[in-house]
Structures are given as C-alpha cells and as structure tokens.
Structure 1
Amino acid sequence: MAYALRHTVALIGMMGAGKTAVGNALARSLGVPFLDSDEEIVRAAQMSVAEIFARDGEAFFRARETEVLARLLSGAPCVLSTGGGAFLAERNRALIAEKGAAVWLKADLELLWQRVRHKTTRPLLHTPDPKRTLSDLLDARAPTYALAGVVVEAEPDLTVDDMAAKVLKALILHGDVVERNERQH
C-alpha cells in the first residue's frame, strides 16, 4: 500500500452516489476495512432499513444511526459508508469531524436517478414521483453535504476504481487523512 489511513474516511452523499462501491475500492487500495453504517444497523436490528422505517419510524432509525456511527468512528481507521441522511444531523457531523474526515461523493440528479430508479430498497423513494422526491432530497441536502471537508465530483464515465483513485487523490491534497506508507514491501 502506497498510503496509510490516519483517520476514518466517512463517505457521505445521496443514495446512488457510489458510497458502497467506491468505498469498497478505496478500502482495498488502502488495505483497511470497509464498513457500512446502514449494514451495521440492519445486522443489529435483523431487519432491513425499509422495515425499520416502517415499524419504528425515521426518528428511531436516526437515533440508532448516531449510536452506530459513534461506535464505528471509535474503532481503527477504516473507510465508512454512511446512510444518505446521516450527515444531516449536527451530532453526526460533529462525530465525523472529531474522529474522521467527511468526503462528499457529489453526483448530479441524472446520475443518481440512473443508479437508483430500479431499486426497491430505498424507503424514501416510495412515493408517487420518486425522481421528483430524489430531486427534492438532493436540493435539501446539498447545502449540508457541502460542509464536508472534501468534495469529490462523481463522473458517469469513471470506473469504480477510477473514482476511488480520485477520492484518494483528494484526500492526499486535503492532508492529515492519509500519509505515505514508509513500510513498503
């Protein structure tokens, strides 16, 4: 590994921005674990995010999300994919700022729509006009996502590995998150 991770990288952004795919590739390139806060919640609850929303409501889910983020950010440095709404909570932004670095995978509406339109696992898009809902969510969330320390624009023509390399380059330029690994084999 040419670079070592000093702090956890928390990938933020909309559903469909590539947090899971890019996060996995970035973690592999850095030789660190990839974790997904939504997956951790699902595992603990033994039900899907959609089921949690339906049974317990969004407020309950958001409370569990903060607990899971606090636990994951307290562990060894990793690449962490967060749910699309996680960074909206001030408490979560503070946790990420204190123990890691937020990276916004910024994607435009058309790219997001291409990626999520056939998925049934997005409870927030179970509406009569899901593209409009996605657009409204993006408009509402973008100003908060922009508070991230690092912003990386998604490009439809980039492969997942190319996008992970673009994120790594942004982290290097940002400073303090990754360092050159002196222990080359």
Structure 2
Amino acid sequence: MKIMLLGYMGCGKSVIGAFLAEKLQIPFYDLDQEIEKETQISIAELFNSKGEIYFRKKENEILKTFLAKESDFVLSLGGGTPCYYNNHELLLHEDVFSVYLKASVETLVSRLMKEKAQRPLLHNQDEVSLKDFINKHLFDRNFYYHQATKIVTVDDKSVEQIVNEINALLA
C-alpha cells in the first residue's frame, strides 16, 4: 500500500507520517526532502533561484517516481502538491491510500506562528495576516484536499491518536 498524507503546512504530515511508517514497519519519505535530495538545493532556495513553476514540475516528477514503486511506503506530500499538475488525480490510483490531515485554521495559526522562521512564505506574517493567508489557501485548496481517500481531523489529538485512527482506516 502506498499511503499518502496530504494537508496544509503545519497539519503534522511529516511527524505523523514517520510515526505511522514505524508502526506499519514500512519506509517513510517526505516529498520536500526527496526534492532537496535530488536537486541538492533547499526548497526555499529552489523557489528563490528557479521559481515555483520549476519546483512544481520537479515535485510532480518525483511524485510519479514514487507512484511507480512496487513497495509499500508512507509519503508526506507538500501542502500544495495535490493542487498542481493534476497531482490530485494521481492520488486516485487503486494502490494509493490518501489521507487528508485536516486541521482547523486556529490549530494551523497556533502551530505556524511558532515555525515562521523555518517557513519562507510566512516570515512577514503577524497572527491576523497569517489567519487570512491560511483561510485563503484552504479555500483555494479545499477541492484538492477533499479528493483524499479518507479525512482525519487532527485538532486536539496526539500523534499516537492520529496514527491509530489512520491505522484503523487501513484495516
């Protein structure tokens, strides 16, 4: 089974993905880290030097490479991955189990305010502008996120609770 985790930045895709993969005893991959490995450039630098279109093409190529694998794995997608190059349609393959990790705007603001330094898109955001930024993105991405096989709400849940909920959905 190819398990894909999608959702907005800060929803916990990477942390939950790593724990889920460990529980299932299958490899875990983070799409952004795989892009950085292949290009030898950080995501922030890739955006700055080559632009978003180049980044999205590379993201699509690497996603397709993962989908072609025969082995089981958990893959954490970037927040925007499902929204470009019809990537959301790639997640509809019969051997793909996709999970939208749905977080409320309040949860996302709370988490992302603490991570602004590591997230280039958020550097200049105060709490009010960040809330507006997230609301707009979620509105734009809602259709794509809801193409997932299952939706798991992450608000006020521990990583263990979320992983157990996803594991139960896999059964």
Alignment of 1:111-130 (within 5 A): 111-119=107-115, 120-128=117-125, 129-130=129-130
* Distance apart, 1:171 and its partner CA: 2.6
| Whole-angstrom CA distance in 2 between matches of 1:26 and 1:55 | 34
Alpha-carbon contact 2:91-2:148 (below 8 Å) kept: no
Alignment of 1:62-73 (within 5 A): 62-73=56-67
* Distance apart, 1:95 and its partner CA: 2.1
| Whole-angstrom CA distance in 1 between matches of 2:39 and 2:123 | 21
Which amino acid counterpart does residue 136 of structure 2 have in structure 1?
D
Q: Does 1:108 align with 2:104?
A: yes
Q: Unmatched 5+ residue regions in structure 1?
A: 1-6, 173-185
Q: 1:175 maps to which residue?
A: none
Alpha-carbon contact 1:23-1:34 (below 8 Å) kept: yes
* Distance apart, 1:21 and its partner CA: 0.7
* Distance apart, 1:43 and its partner CA: 1.3
* Distance apart, 1:84 and its partner CA: 0.3
The DSSP-based 3-state class of the residue aligned with 1:124 is helix
* TM-score, normalization by structure 1: 0.83
Q: 1:146 maps to which residue?
A: 146
Which of residues 41, 44, 48 is equivalent to 1:50?
Answer: 44
Q: 1:77 maps to which residue?
A: 72
| Whole-angstrom CA distance in 2 between matches of 1:91 and 1:77 | 23
Q: 1:131 maps to which residue?
A: 131
Q: 2:25 maps to which residue?
A: 31
Q: Unmatched 5+ residue regions in structure 2?
A: none
Alpha-carbon contact 2:88-2:144 (below 8 Å) kept: no
* Distance apart, 1:61 and its partner CA: 0.5
Alpha-carbon contact 1:152-1:170 (below 8 Å) kept: no
* Distance apart, 1:132 and its partner CA: 1.9
Q: 1:166 maps to which residue?
A: 165
| Whole-angstrom CA distance in 2 between matches of 1:58 and 1:89 | 11
The aligned length equals: 165
| Whole-angstrom CA distance in 2 between matches of 1:63 and 1:90 | 8
| Whole-angstrom CA distance in 1 between matches of 2:84 and 2:92 | 12
Aligned identity (percent) is 35
When residues 115 and 24 of structure 1 are mapped into structure 2, their CA distance, relative to the original with a 3 A threshold, is same
